[in-house]
């Protein structure tokens, strides 16, 4: 995987994804600060975030620092030459001369793919509009596998904004690769795009979460994203449609885990945090060892 771009989860085979998981297992103690590493000493990662981020940006930075590397970048385009009219092409060509790899988040779908086409340094997609978010998928799969042991034959229920939610577009493709059963629950206006559904294996689809809770091994919740809606009135009508609380989970399997890419608004009640089902904070932590593994493989310091 040395010098590889990671733009879509489709850029990785199942074997390569499992390789990332294997390396991530060896990184956990380093991610926790129990061990130290200088594997990426003298390497620089550039984080180019044209959209806000907490977990993705900070976990990439934490991953790089835990491995002895350094980070440069921005999270506010108002402080960059983009605010002066610089285009994406020139930003990428300039920044590639300062670093060994770049992580980019951009509001326009296809921006990361375009960056990879013009850059001589590896590009990692940290989310492109409503397109994909492949490293989120890697940590999601890792979280599921650690909790369930395997994904083969497991039932994963995805709930909420499946139209604009880039995390679920990547995740469902990967779940199909790993032989999981996929259940989709959303308002009709926010259904999974047809082009994605053509690539994945959907066991059932509906609008009522209550119809599927009892069969789920994983309940993967997404917020309805205000920033993706072209019509504020449509957002107001659909927001708050689904809510996971401890009462709903009384009908779930004991081993069922609840996941969320975060941030949450009101899709998961705080009383769920105190249950054994809650896995979203562990999921957020898993972003560090998984991204440590991916950076190590891309920069060629791990086989």
Q: Could you tell me which CATH class the domain 134-283 is placed in? A: alpha beta
Query: Per-residue pLDDT for 266 more than 90?
Result: no
Q: What is the pLDDT of residue 86?
A: 82
Q: What is the pLDDT of residue 264?
A: 86
Residue 63's closest CA among 294, 218, 292, 228?
292
Taking only the tens place, the pLDDT of each residue in 194-218 is: 988 998 989 999 999 999 999 999 9
Weakest mean pLDDT among 66-80, 147-161, 204-218, 226-240: 226-240
Query: Per-residue pLDDT for 35 more than 90?
Result: yes
Query: Per-residue pLDDT for 82 more than 90?
Result: no
Mean pLDDT of 89-102: 96
Q: What is the pLDDT of residue 85?
A: 79
Mean pLDDT of 248-253: 95
What is residue 52's DSSP assignment?
A: -
Max CA separation in the chain (angstroms): 55
Taking only the tens place, the pLDDT of each residue in 15-25 is: 999 999 999 99
Percent helix, strand, coil in the chain, to 5, is: 45, 15, 40
Q: Could you tell me which CATH class the domain 9-132+286-298 is placed in? A: alpha beta
Let me know if the fold of 9-132+286-298 is the same as that of 134-283: yes
What is residue 225's DSSP assignment?
A: -
Tokens at 190, concatenated? 């926010």
Mean pLDDT of the chain: 91
Position of tokens 């957020």?
Answer: 284
Q: Map out the domains of the chain as residue ranges.
A: 9-132+286-298, 134-283
Q: What is the pLDDT of residue 165?
A: 81
Q: How far apart are CA 173 and CA 182, in angstroms?
A: 10
Mean pLDDT of 181-185: 96
Query: Per-residue pLDDT for 301 more than 70?
Result: yes
Mean pLDDT of 157-169: 88
Strand order in the sheet with 123-128: 70-74, 44-49, 101-106, 123-128
Mean pLDDT of 285-294: 98
Residue 295's closest CA among 99, 92, 17, 1?
1
Query: Per-residue pLDDT for 300 more than 80?
Result: yes
Tokens at 207, concatenated? 């609008």
Q: How far apart are CA 246 and CA 260, in angstroms?
A: 15
Q: What is the pLDDT of residue 295?
A: 98
What is residue 71's DSSP assignment?
A: E
Mean pLDDT of 158-172: 88
Mean pLDDT of 74-103: 87
Mean pLDDT of 234-238: 61
Query: Per-residue pLDDT for 79 more than 80?
Result: no
Q: What is the pLDDT of residue 228?
A: 55
Q: What is the pLDDT of residue 210?
A: 93
- To the nearest whole percent, how much of the chain has pLDDT over 90? 73
């Amino acid at each position: 995987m040395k010098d590889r771009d990671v733009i879509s989860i489709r850029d990785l085979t199942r074997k390569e994804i499992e390789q990332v998981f294997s390396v991530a297992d060896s990184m956990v103690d380093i991610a926790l600060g129990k061990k130290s590493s200088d594997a990426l000493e003298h390497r620089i990662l550039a984080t180019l975030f044209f959209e806000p981020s907490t977990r993705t940006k900070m976990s990439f930075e934490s991953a790089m620092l835990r491995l002895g590397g350094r980070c440069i970048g921005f999270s506010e385009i108002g402080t960059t030459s983009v605010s002066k009219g610089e285009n994406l092409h020139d930003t990428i060509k300039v920044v590639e001369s300062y670093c060994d790899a770049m992580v980019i988040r951009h509001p326009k779908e296809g921006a990361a793919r375009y960056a990879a086409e013009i850059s001589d340094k590896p590009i990692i997609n940290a989310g492109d509009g409503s397109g994909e978010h492949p490293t989120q998928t890697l940590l999601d799969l890792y979280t599921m596998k650690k909790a369930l042991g395997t994904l083969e034959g497991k039932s994963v229920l995805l709930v909420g904004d499946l139209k604009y939610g880039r995390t679920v577009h990547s995740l469902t493709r990967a779940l199909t690769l790993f032989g999981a059963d996929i259940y989709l629950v959303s308002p009709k206006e926010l259904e999974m795009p047809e082009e994605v559904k053509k690539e994945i294996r959907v066991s059932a689809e509906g609008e009522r979460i209550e119809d599927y809770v009892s069969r789920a091994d994983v309940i993967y919740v997404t917020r309805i994203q205000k920033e993706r809606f072209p019509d504020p009135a449509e957002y107001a009508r659909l927001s708050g449609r689904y809510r996971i609380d401890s009462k709903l989970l009384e009908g779930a399997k004991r081993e069922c885990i609840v996941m969320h890419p975060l941030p949450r608004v009101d899709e998961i009640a705080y009383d769920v945090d105190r249950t054994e089902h809650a896995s979203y904070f562990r999921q957020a932590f898993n972003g560090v060892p998984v991204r440590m593994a991916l950076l190590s493989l891309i920069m060629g310091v791990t086989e």
